[in-house]
Amino acid sequence: MKQKLLLLATLSTFALGSAALGDLAILDDSLGLSPVSVFDVPAPEAFEYLDTDPKVAGVLPRAWEDLPPQIPHRAERYLPINARVNKCLECHDEPDKIGKKVSGKPTPMSEAHYVRDGRELTLANNKYVCTLCHAPQTEAAVLVGNTFQGAR
C-alpha cells in the first residue's frame, strides 16, 4: 500500500512538473536580444556613422563626470589607428594647451592621457588607441530600450 502511494505521488509530481514546464516554454523568437526566431538569420538595418566636420561638431553632453567624451565628429576617415598612423593625435595632442578649450578647435587631451617626466609630458601608451574609450556616434535606433538618464 505504502509503495502504491509513493508511486502515485511520484507520478503526479511528474505530471504537474511537465504541465508547469509547458506554461514556461520560451518561444524561439524570445530567446536572446534579437527580435527574430533563432532559426532565422537576422538582418538589422545598416547604419552609418555621422560625417560631421570637426570644426562645426561642437561637443556632446557627458552623462557623468570623468566619462570619456563621445566623439562628436566624423571618425571613419581618421581610422584605423595603427603603430605608424594616429590621425587623432594630429589634432588633439597639444600638451601646451591642456585645459584651454576653444570652441571649434580640437579639445586638447587632458593630462590624464600623458605620463609626466619633470616638465615633459609623453603620451601614455595605454591611451594611444583612442577608440578603446571614445566612441564615434550614429543615429541608429537603440537595439534594446532603456531608461538611463545621465548623472548630470
Closer residue to ligand HEC, CB minimum distance, 34 or 79: 79
Q: What are the C-alpha distances in Å from 94 to residues 2, 25, 90, 109, 128?
A: 86, 59, 9, 7, 14
Length of the chain: 152
* 83 contributes a contact to ligand HEC by CB under 6 A: no
* 69 contributes a contact to ligand HEC by CB under 6 A: yes
Q: What are the C-alpha distances in Å from 81 to residues 5, 37, 149?
A: 73, 37, 32
Taking residues 91 to 130 in sequence order and writing x for each that binds ligand HEC by CB under 6 A, - otherwise, the string is: xx--------x-xxxxx-xx-xx------------xxxxx
Q: What residues between 28 and 67 interact with ligand HEC by CB under 6 A?
A: 54-55, 57-59, 66
Supply the minimum distance, in Å, between the C-beta of residue 150 and ligand HEC: 14
- How many other β-carbons are positioned within 10 Å of the β-carbon of residue 113? 20
The count of residues interacting with ligand HEC (CB under 6 A) is: 39
Supply the minimum distance, in Å, between the C-beta of residue 74 and ligand HEC: 9
Closer residue to ligand HEC, CB minimum distance, 45 or 66: 66
Please identify which residue in 34, 50, 79, 94 interacts with ligand HEC, judged by CB under 6 A.
79
Residue pair 137/60 in contact (Cβ under 8 Å)? The answer is: yes
Burial 125-143 (b: 16+ CB within 10 A, else e): eeeeebeeeeebbeeeeee
Taking the C-alpha atoms of residue 39 and residue 13, their distance in angstroms, rounded to an integer, is 33
Q: Which three cell numbers stand for residue 79?
A: 581610422
Q: Which residues bind ligand HEC (CB under 6 A)?
A: 54-55, 57-59, 66, 68-69, 71-73, 75, 78-79, 87-92, 101, 103-107, 109-110, 112-113, 126-134
